[in-house]
């Protein structure tokens, strides 16, 4: 979990954006793991605060930089989250959730819309990084099947600030 940073500059306190994922631990629980790896494929609960006042919308990503591809693996990308939404309940990344439309959920690298949990190949643990981005635009006009790597680059171009949490998962962990 990212720690809250406080800087004193000329008597003014500035707070860093903060992201909390209460059950997304250093060792990722099986309920968040992709179903083909024995998990329940439930997206974790996320809460964020201390974002810049000029924020116009948010985006969420979950990325595995250790995947054996030339671009990592995108597990989740959500854009067009209104600025008044600062909480994604557990399961909100799943298409059957009543919270699925809190943002515009797009294609992940499994070829599915919404959340796709960890499912690394056999070997050492992989890192899974969930990031919430405060953006300078109200949203993106994209189709749900946009390439995740292209959308992630567009998100980065419009990021004012972000906060991340990271967990690990290795195939076979229970």
Q: What is the pLDDT of residue 4?
A: 42
Q: Is the pLDDT confidence value at 10 over 70? A: no
Q: Is the pLDDT confidence value at 5 over 70? A: no
Instruction: Give pLDDT tens digits for 83-118.
Output: 999 999 999 999 999 999 999 999 999 999 999 999
Contacts of 153 (CB under 8 A, 6+ apart): none
Q: What is the pLDDT of residue 12?
A: 61
**Strands of 73-82's sheet, edge to edge?**
104-105, 73-82, 57-64, 126-135, 159-169
Nearest CA among 139, 123, 127, 128 for reference residue 44: 128
Q: What is the pLDDT of residue 102?
A: 95
Residue range 137-165: mean pLDDT, rounded: 96
Q: Average per-residue pLDDT in the chain? A: 92
- With a pLDDT cut of 70, the percent of the chain lying above it is 91
Q: What is the pLDDT of residue 25?
A: 84
Q: What is the pLDDT of residue 174?
A: 72
- Cβ neighbour number for residue 92 with a 10 Å cutoff: 25
Residue 70 vs residues 14, 67, 152, 171: alpha-carbon distances, Å: 37, 8, 15, 21
Instruction: Give pLDDT tens digits for 13-38.
Output: 566 999 999 998 889 999 999 999 99
What is the reported pTM? 0.90
Residue range 118-136: mean pLDDT, rounded: 97
Residue range 120-127: mean pLDDT, rounded: 95
Q: Is the pLDDT confidence value at 2 over 80? A: no
Which CATH class, in words, describes the domain spanning 50-169? alpha beta
């Amino acid at each position: 979990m990212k720690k809250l940073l406080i800087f004193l500059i000329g008597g003014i306190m500035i707070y860093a954006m903060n992201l909390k994922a209460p059950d997304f631990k250093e060792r990722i629980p099986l309920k968040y793991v992709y179903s083909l790896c024995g998990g329940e494929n439930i997206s974790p609960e996320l809460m964020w605060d201390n974002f810049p006042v000029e924020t116009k919308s948010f985006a969420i990503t979950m990325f595995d930089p250790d995947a054996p591809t030339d671009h990592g693996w995108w597990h989740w990308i959500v854009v067009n989250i209104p600025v008044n939404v600062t909480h994604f309940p557990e399961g909100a990344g799943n298409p059957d959730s009543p919270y699925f439309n809190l943002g515009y959920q797009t294609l992940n690298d499994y070829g599915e819309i919404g959340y796709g949990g960890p499912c690394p190949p056999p070997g050492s643990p992989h890192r899974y990084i969930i990031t919430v981005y405060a953006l300078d635009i109200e949203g993106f006009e994209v189709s749900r099947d946009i390439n995740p790597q292209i959308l992630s680059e567009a998100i980065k171009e419009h990021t004012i600030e972000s906060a991340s949490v990271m967990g690990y998962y290795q195939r076979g962990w229970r």
